[in-house]
Amino acid sequence: MQYRTLGRTDIKVSLICLGTMTWGSQNSEAEAHAQLDYAIAQGVTFIDTAEAYPVTPVSRETQGRTEEYIGSWIAKRGKRDDIILATKVAGPSREPVRQFRGGNNRLDRRNIEQAIDDSLQRLRTDYVDLYQLHWPDRPVPSFGARGLAQIADAPEVVPIEETLDALAGLIKSGKVRHIGVSNETPWGVSEYLRLARDQGLPRIASIQNAYNLLNRTFEIGLSEFALREDVGLLAYSPLAGGNLTGKYLGGVIPPGSRRDVAKQFVRYDLPGQATASALCRHRPCPWPRSGADGARLCEQPRLRDREHHRSDFHGAAEGRHRQRGHHPAARGHCGDRSGASRGSRSLPMRDSRWGFKAPVRPSPPPAFRAR
């Protein structure tokens, strides 16, 4: 396992972050605990969740259950200081089924303070290492949408300065160590950095956005902020929600898959999907395969070798993907969902820094003291 420093903090995170958004819907509590045990055994120290999880599907009855499963694992195993724990506060509800705090959730002080207290109770801990804003309070293109044709802020949109000031209070109280954003735009990142500099408010350490062969919008404007300002990318959907495995080609929706149980995940139905999936499935692979239906992680371009990259998120809804080699930790190659060989000629993500590397599995370093 490899580890990287998160932004300008003193936190080191594993190159793989264990994603959890299926726990409580597609995964039982026992399966969640098994995934946590397995990930920790492989050197994974970074765990990401959210108050909105699970989202496969989105359900008011299950939201918050993922944090409860992590909390029961922490209480049972007693390994809180062995992990870097990240969670998120939800922005304004975008659909009726997703309601928080009576349905009037904004990124204001009242909501943020209640949200962190509720998350800490579910997680059975008194602090989180990274607290993220799941999506902005203002309307922006996110979750697959692109382009902003006009400013459509409602009167109740919470100013970023108010949000950041509320987060500063959480850090001062000891409930949160560091903060980050998610599904954010270049303007939003620049505003958070400006306010931190001008007002003496906390600095964001990370941005959690999608990054994969079908969505490289991060490279257009956000990558420069990440590089110049040390706001590290936490890349979610490295396999484009499973689309890069090829299992959805031809309109096929396998029973029990994400697209089957959560109808909202259509953001990667794009013209380039078939080509990208074919590249991912048919390149020569230096790693042993264990099944035809799993994600061939080693055949993905080496997105993690980008300088702005800090960690990428992987989860497995089915235990067979974790135990039989489809989960990146099982491969023992540092979350490498990439790995174009030196002989690759047509992979669009390739540059001079990318190429095949042999796997390295050193003994995990001593547990990070998270206080």
150: amino acid identity, one letter? Q
CA-nearest of 307, 275, 144, 269 to 217 is 144
User: Position of tokens 């135990």?
Assistant: 323
- Reading the block at residue 30, the tokens are 């026992």
CA-nearest of 102, 157, 107 to 131 is 107
Beta bridge partners of 207: 181, 233
> Which entry of 3, 38, 53, 127 is annotated as an active-site residue?
53
Phi, psi of 119 (to 5 degrees): -65, -45
- Alpha-helical segments (H) within the chain: 29-41, 65-77, 109-123, 160-173, 186-199, 222-229, 258-261, 273-282, 319-323, 328-331
User: CA-based angle 20:24:30, to the nearest 5?
Assistant: 85
- Reading the block at residue 76, the tokens are 């049972």
CA-nearest of 371, 337, 334 to 14 is 334
Structure-derived torsion over alpha carbons of residues 142, 209, 195, 103, reported in degrees to the nearest 10: 50
Pair 42, 340: CB distance under 8 Å: no
Pair 86, 132: CB distance under 8 Å: yes
Structure-derived torsion over alpha carbons of residues 269, 270, 271, 275, reported in degrees to the nearest 10: -80
CA-nearest of 151, 140, 270 to 213 is 270
Active site residue 53: yes
Active site residues: 53
